Amino acid sequence: QSALTQPRSVSGSPGQSVTISCTGTSSDVGGYNYVSWYQQHPGKAPKLMIYDVSKRPSGVPDRFSGSKSGNTASLTISGLQAEDEADYYCCSYAGSYTLEVFGGGTKLTVL
Amino acid sequence: QLQLQESGPGLVKPSETLSLTCTVSGGSISSSSYYWGWIRQPPGKGLEWIGSIYYSGSTYYNPSLKSRVTISVDTSKNQFSLKLSSVTAADTAVYYCARAPIMITFGGVIAHAFDIWGQGTMVTVSS
């Protein structure tokens, strides 16, 4: 299966907002409300930030929010902080045969 | 709290079989609310889901790897394992194990997300 499409990089200044997109198809992102987002700092394991498109696990700041429109899901980070600089990956349920598909990842730089 | 720890050889020869184990501590692998997955990340690249297993032994594999992957579970040891056969340099990666809360539908198992991850283990395929 093809990976979901994410921009390779995004950037923003402290305090600003950034949005990372994740584009799939009607067979994955567009077909189900099971999109998740992960933050990964260098050398570390991924950390779950958003699940079921827009739900935040306990402990994740409300600066992180998720949404979906059609075949594209989005992660928005408001009030950017230096520690938000990391790689971000989306993931979607893709049906009973393929199950899970990840995006290629987006590097967020806090200027 | 629940923790996952990968273990296994860090170096595997081409054409051989990669074998890793994930040990679950602080909770039971036999919960009906989760399945347990393997995800890998080649150096400098993105994440790739390899497959997942339910405590009953039901398995779910990435179609692109299915012919080479076997995932098994040992509930008595609270562990699940990954075997990847006929490895090449392209299988060099950090391998993570992770837990996923699930729901069971008429269409099959759906994972909400991978909510707890192991620290990962680097496996290099080289002679």
**pLDDT 10s digits, A43-91:** 999 999 999 999 999 999 999 999 999 999 999 999 999 999 999 999 9
What is the Rg, in whole angstroms, of the alpha carbon atoms belonging to chain B?
14
Contact A3 B64 (CB under 8 A): no
Q: Tell whether B10 lies on the interface with A, counting CB pairs under 8 A.
A: no
Name the DSSP letter for residue A107: E
Place of tokens 């590097």: A107
Q: How far apart are CA B109 and CA B4, in angstroms?
A: 22
B88-92 contacts, C-beta under 8 A, 24 or more apart? B88/B14, B88/B15, B88/B125, B89/B14, B89/B125, B89/B126, B90/B42, B90/B125, B91/B12, B91/B18, B91/B40, B91/B123, B91/B125, B92/B42, B92/B43, B92/B123, B92/B124, B92/B125, B92/B126
> Hey, is the C-beta of B63 within 8 angstroms of any chain A C-beta?
yes
**A105: closest CA of chain B, how far (Å):** 6
Using CA atoms, how far apart are residues B97 and A72, in angstroms rounded to an integer?
27
Q: Alpha carbon of B86 to those of B15, B17, B41, B43, B72: distances in Å?
A: 4, 6, 18, 20, 18
Contact B49 A32 (CB under 8 A): no
pLDDT for the residue numbered B126? 96
Asked if B74 is an interface residue toward chain A (Cβ–Cβ < 8 A), one would say: no
A33 touches chain B (CB under 8 A): no
Burial profile A15-43: b = 16 or more Cβ within 10 angstroms, e = fewer: eeebebbbbbbebbbbebebbbbbbbeee
The answer to whether residue A109 neighbours chain B at the CB level (below 8 Å) is: no
**Closest CA relative to residue B109, chosen from A50, A99, A29, A34:** A99
For B110, which of A34, A98, A101 is closest by C-beta distance?
Answer: A34
* pLDDT above 70 as % of chain B: 100
Measure A77 CA to nearest chain B CA, in Å: 19
Instruction: Enter the DSSP assignment of A82.
Output: G
Contacts of B106 (CB under 8 A, 6+ apart): none
What integer is the mean pLDDT of B105-127?
92
Confidence tier at A3 by pLDDT (50, 70, 90): confident
Which residues of chain B make contact with A99, given a CB cutoff of 8 A?
49, 52, 60, 62, 111
Distance CA(A27)–CA(B115), nearest Å, equals 23
pLDDT the model gives residue B109: 84
Cβ-nearest to B117 among A46, A52, A99: A46
Q: Any idea which of B43-52, B75-84, B102-111, B114-123 has the lowest mean pLDDT?
A: B102-111
**Residues in A touching B109 (Cβ below 8 Å):** 96
Q: How far apart are the first and last CA of chain A?
A: 35
Q: Do A99 and B114 touch (CB under 8 A)?
A: no
Instruction: Specify the pLDDT at position A2.
Output: 63
